[in-house]
Amino acid sequence: MSKPAAKDHSAEAAPLHAARDEFVTQWGAIGSAWGINRTMAQIHALLIITPRALTTDEVMDELTISRGNAHTNLRELTGWGLVRSVIRKGERKEYFEAEKDVWKMFCIIVRERKRREIRPAINVLKDCIDRANGLKSPEAAAFTKQTKALCEFMEMADGVLSKIVRSEQSSIVPWALKFLK
């Protein structure tokens, strides 16, 4: 019995490489739109779609970026919890791999955005409310009313996001989909 011939994947190499490059480029652009460093988003994209862990040198080569840029952004992604460092026995190089589970990625990003953006915004709003508290002019009353409304909304959003990141995908997604129908 003869062995079946191995599939020739060379015909797929160019279109796959082009699609991967486009994904990395566009993920970087999307990251910029969300206020994330473009290179950080591109490194994240590269690690999401690469099935094996990569070294800093491999990330540098793939994205044509400096060692400092790669190192800084890999540390930032590691700090967020989106990327983890992998040490291989007998090797001196450090490898990096991304969290591949989309739901976990989403929860990590939401948790970080809450910590870095929503909570500080709430604190600023509360400080502004405290500073205007007791002022009697119509302008002060309008300012206080608006900042309280913004603060209440931000606190509600913070609470909703907290519930989402504590939930498991299996319970929250069907619930959320009911409201989208």
Among the listed ranges 7-21, 84-98, 137-151, which one has the minimum average pLDDT value? 7-21
Per-residue pLDDT of 67-115, as tens digits, reads 999 999 999 999 999 999 998 888 889 999 999 988 888 888 888 889 9
| pLDDT score of 173 | 60
Q: Which pLDDT band holds residue 4 (cuts at 50, 70, 90)? A: very low
Cite the DSSP H helix spans in the chain. Answer: 10-33, 38-49, 56-63, 67-80, 102-113, 119-132, 138-166, 169-180
- Mean pLDDT of all residues in the chain? 88
> CB under 8 Å, gap of 24 or more: what pairs does 38-42 form?
39/63, 39/65, 39/69, 39/73, 40/73, 40/76, 40/77
| pLDDT score of 148 | 97
| pLDDT score of 5 | 47
Among the listed ranges 44-48, 169-173, 177-181, which one has the minimum average pLDDT value? 169-173
| pLDDT score of 171 | 61
Per-residue pLDDT of 22-31, as tens digits, reads 999 999 999 8
Provide the residue type at 62 as one letter. E
| pLDDT score of 3 | 45
CA distances from 171 to 114, 160, 161, 179, 180 (A): 21, 14, 15, 14, 15
Residue 156 tokens, joined: 């509600």
Q: What is the length of the chain?
A: 181
Pairing mode, strands 94-98 and 54-55:
antiparallel
Pairing mode, strands 83-87 and 94-98:
antiparallel
| pLDDT score of 89 | 87
Q: Which pLDDT band holds residue 13 (cuts at 50, 70, 90)? A: confident
| pLDDT score of 168 | 64
Q: Are 101 and 84 in contact (CB under 8 A)?
A: no
The percent of residues in the chain predicted with pLDDT above 70, rounded, is 88
Per-residue pLDDT of 56-70, as tens digits, reads 999 999 999 999 999
